[in-house]
Amino acid sequence: MAGALTDLLGRYVPPEEYTHRYYTVRGKEFHQVFQSFPVLEPFYMEWEKNYNAEKVFWFIVDNAWIPWLSICIYLLFIFGYPSLAKRFGIPYISARTQMASWNLFLAAFSWLGAMRVVPHFFFLLKDAGFEQVLCGAPEPLYGDGAVGFWIQAFVLSKVAELLDTVFVVLRQKDPIFLHWYHHVTVLLFTWFTYSNENPGIVFIAMNYSVHAVMYTYYWLAIIKRVPDWFPTWLITLAQILQMVVGVFVAYNYYRVLSSGGSCAVSTDLLWACALMYSTYLYLFCEFAVRRYILGPWRAMAAKGKAKKTN
């Protein structure tokens, strides 16, 4: 396996042999995947390689009102619009073309983000080790350069993803609790984890990957092109596994801090992380049981009862 990977990516160049060095505005050196695997460099654009995250970082830090205002508008809309639509006779809005375009855009965005962040995550595991990737300060690990850009894009995208629910409500459907709770808490956690310079690349790598598959499926479902062989439960399983990893990471934050070790995560965000991923795990498991176990079982029971009646 290792030999095949080496044949594919070429010789691994250790950090001490890099011919070019990258530094953040604060003077911290950071490494990028293509430095160790030069065969990948042509696939990175110059602006990505030299991306300076400082301006957008301070924009996120200085504008903490954005997620709060977005969430207030979001909740007012999803709980207020149905009553207004009923009162004023606003018709059902299909928005099928817009939904398809939106999900295709998010799918493409997520695939691109995953292709940048996931390789960097595994590169860091090899270069820095598990505990450093989990607990190390973000700036020297993934603060600038190509992965720095895609991490900032991820943070900002959580505001845009609120539109997912807008389409649901416009179609006069009630979003389930898991749907809107997930959008609200992810936005807050992502924004403030990043602005407080807490480690989080493991969450971003997972989320980009799961969303790449999920939004691709949603797009195909809207245009009615989902392959017959595709198991839809696979997406829910991937989401559950993502939450399991989230709980595991929160536990490791606690383990390192309680043993007196060094970890860049703040105590407040540690407990927010533990609570958020624990509730996600419960809610996604409950959803999976209702949809893929109890749902089919009740349908079969109803079918059997109808046969007996006839």
What is each CA distance from 85 to 129, 173, 177, in whole angstroms? 54, 12, 21
Q: What whole-number distance in Å separates Cα of residue 64 and Cα of residue 79? A: 24
Q: What whole-number distance in Å separates Cα of residue 246 and Cα of residue 260? A: 22
Q: What whole-number distance in Å separates Cα of residue 123 and Cα of residue 133? A: 10
Q: 29 phi and psi, to 5 degrees? A: -75, 140
Q: Is 279 exposed, middle or buried (0-12, 13-18, 19+ CB in 10 A)?
A: middle
Separate counts of helices (H) and strands (E) for the chain: 15, 2
Nearest CA to 117 among 138, 135, 101? 138
Q: What whole-number distance in Å separates Cα of residue 72 and Cα of residue 74? A: 5
Residue numbers annotated as active site:
182
- The tokens describing 227, both together, are 């392959």
The number of angstroms, rounded, from the C-alpha of 310 to the middle of its chain's C-alpha atoms is 50
